[in-house]
């Protein structure tokens, strides 16, 4: 029998499966713990031994410097380690001296010999550059995991081509001009001058393209455990950055030009027999300040923006990088470093190197979708790629990253 006071039954809502949100990637913070006073002791001993050995200690000094900076670079509390053999670096250093010495000596015999030596240098340099990347990464470890560089030799030559071909034209044209000085002076415009001009123009126009290729080759070859680096770095963005950097370089020149003109006018307005001298001194000081400010502005601006552009576009299967280096911070630090280095007659250089490394490294953080401890466990179980065998390729030469 129907009860009029009964509450009608409400049909049950269909069960909805709750999909858990993916966990947010953990952030691996980078800290630099080095101090200027500690590095000053290493730097001063290195400098003394380089002078005593007439430069032969340079590779050993470089190994000591790299070890110090790596040991004080902490990623999630774990320091980097450098395992490079200084004697391999020394053999590479000797090879570099032989190559550069051969090129320099060939120039004293004839322009043809100098050009042939330059072509040989161009032919071997991409291979040496790749070897230096393999050596540095193959001898760098974090949490016991060796890093690696997987860039191919073919890609090294392709990355170098846009800068090498104009350089060959530039050097060839310059040697021809030097050999036929009289003909060039009489004609004013010769095929050698045209070749030189085309080479210089192409080197300028292709510079951002070359830089983008170099960065892509480097970042695409980085790897650790099962992670393979990949970077999104468009050539158009590098060209835009180059234009902005050039514009930033012009600002201090224009500003100091206006100030120098005002100072010259003021000096001449004072009258007296020394007004011409005062005007010349004011102009010279203005030009010098403008030149220094130009480098103090465009170098930090280009370095900060390029670091952010390259690393923000770099990731691997489980890693993503983020760089937030600010131009104003690097600019202020650069001015401070230059001023104190000049006042201390270069004794502040190790302190400047430590401060710059700390600023640039701590501006980078790493997002990780996995637990790096699993990489260590996999490596100990024998499932990770071996990365230590490539350290000796191409004489183990190290020309830095």
Residue 7 has pLDDT above 60, yes or no: no
Dihedral of CA 179/180/185/188: which sign? negative
For β-strands 140-142 and 227-228, DSSP reports them as unpaired
Token representation of residue 183: 């003909």
User: Does residue 295 register a pLDDT over 80?
Assistant: yes
pLDDT at 182: 54
Q: Between the ranges 109-113, 194-198, 265-269, 359-363, where is the mean pLDDT highest?
A: 359-363
C-beta separation of 208 from 242 below 8 A: yes
pLDDT for 399? 36
Output the pLDDT for position 344.
97
**Residue 63: predicted pLDDT:** 94
Share of the chain above pLDDT 70, in %: 79
Query: Which DSSP helix (H) or strand (E) runs through 75?
Result: strand 73-75
Q: Please, are residues 162 and 210 in contact by the beta-carbon 8 Å criterion?
A: yes
pLDDT in tens, 335-372: 999 999 999 999 999 999 999 999 999 999 999 999 88
Query: Comparing 8-22, 150-164, 279-293, 344-358, which segment has the lowest mean pLDDT?
Result: 8-22
CA 365 and chain centroid, separation: 18
Q: Cα separations (Å) of 76 from 11, 140, 219?
A: 53, 16, 21
Position 272 confidence tier, pLDDT thresholds 50, 70, 90: low
Give the per-residue pLDDT at 19: 59
Q: Say what the pLDDT of residue 210 is.
A: 95
pLDDT greater than 90 at residue 3: no
Which whole number is the average pLDDT over 29-56? Answer: 96
26-32 and 319-323 beta bridge pairing: unpaired
Within 10 A of 146 (CB to CB), how many other CB atoms are there? Answer: 24
Q: Exposed/middle/buried for 25, CB within 10 Å: 0-12, 13-18, 19+?
A: middle
Residue 74, SS3 per DSSP? strand
The torsion angles phi and psi of 305, rounded to 5 degrees, stand at: -65, -35
Query: For the chain, which residues make up each domain, given as ranges?
Result: 83-233
Averaged pLDDT, 185-192 = 66
pLDDT at 392 over 70: no
- Residue, of 88 and 152, whose pLDDT is higher: 152
Q: What three-state secondary structure class fits 5?
A: coil
- Tell me how long the chain is: 401
**191-221 helix and 235-269 helix, angle to the nearest 10 degrees:** 120
* Element holding 263 (H helix, E strand): helix 235-269
Mean pLDDT score of the chain: 83
Q: Is 37 or 298 the better-scoring residue by pLDDT?
A: 37
| 128 or 51, which is more confident | 51
Q: How far apart are the C-alpha atoms of 215 and 203, rounded to whole Å?
A: 17
* Burial tier of 365 (Cβ tally within 10 Å: 0-12, 13-18, 19+): middle
CB atoms within 10 A of CB 95: 15
Could you tell me the strand order of the sheet in which 227-228 lies?
A: 227-228, 222-224, 145-149, 140-142, 78-82, 73-75, 26-32, 364-368, 319-323, 314-315, 230-231
For residue 136, pLDDT beyond 60: yes
pLDDT at 401 over 70: no
The closest of 301, 207, 324, 308 to 252, measured between CA atoms, is: 301
Average pLDDT over residues 226-246: 95
3-state secondary structure of 364: strand
| Mean pLDDT score, 226-231 | 95
Residue 393 has pLDDT above 70, yes or no: no
């Amino acid at each position: 029998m129907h009860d009029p006071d009964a509450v009608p039954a409400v049909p049950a809502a269909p069960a909805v499966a709750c999909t858990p949100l993916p966990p947010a990637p953990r952030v691996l913070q980078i800290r630099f713990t080095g101090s200027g006073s500690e590095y000053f002791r290493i730097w001063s001993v290195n400098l003394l031994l380089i002078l005593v050995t007439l430069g032969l200690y340079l590779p050993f000094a470089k190994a000591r410097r790299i070890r110090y900076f790596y040991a004080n670079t902490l990623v999630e509390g774990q320091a980097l380690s450098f395992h490079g053999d200084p004697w391999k670096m020394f053999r590479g250093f000797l090879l570099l001296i032989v190559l550069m010495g051969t090129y320099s000596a060939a120039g004293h015999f004839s322009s043809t010999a100098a050009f042939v030596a330059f072509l040989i240098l161009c032919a071997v340099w991409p291979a040496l550059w790749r070897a230096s990347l393999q050596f540095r990464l193959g001898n760098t470890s974090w949490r016991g995991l060796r890093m690696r560089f997987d860039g191919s030799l073919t890609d090294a030559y392709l990355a170098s081509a846009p800068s090498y071909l104009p350089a060959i034209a530039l050097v060839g044209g310059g040697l021809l001009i030097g050999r036929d000085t009289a003909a060039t002076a009489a004609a004013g415009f010769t095929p050698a001058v045209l070749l030189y001009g085309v080479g210089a123009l192409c080197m300028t126009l292709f510079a951002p393209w070359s830089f983008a290729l170099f960065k892509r080759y480097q970042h695409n070859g980085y790897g650790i455990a099962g992670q393979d680096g990949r970077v999104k770095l468009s050539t158009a963005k590098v060209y835009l950055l180059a234009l902005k950097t050039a514009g930033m370089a012009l600002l201090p020149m224009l500003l100091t030009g206006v100030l120098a003109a005002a100072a010259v006018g003021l000096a001449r307005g004072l009258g007296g027999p020394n007004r011409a001298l005062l005007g010349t001194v004011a102009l010279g000081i203005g030009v010098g300040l403008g030149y220094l400010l130009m480098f103090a502005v465009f170098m930090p601006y280009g370095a900060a923006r390029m670091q952010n552009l390259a690393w923000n576009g770099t990731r691997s299967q489980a890693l993503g990088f983020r760089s937030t280096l600010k131009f104003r911070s690097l600019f202020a630090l650069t001015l401070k470093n230059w001023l104190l280095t000049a006042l201390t007659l270069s004794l502040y250089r190790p302190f400047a190197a430590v401060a710059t490394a700390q600023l640039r490294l701590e501006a980078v953080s790493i997002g990780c979708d996995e637990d790096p401890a699993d990489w260590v466990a996999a490596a100990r179980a024998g499932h990770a790629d071996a990365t230590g065998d490539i350290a000796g390729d191409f004489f183990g030469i190290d020309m830095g990253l």
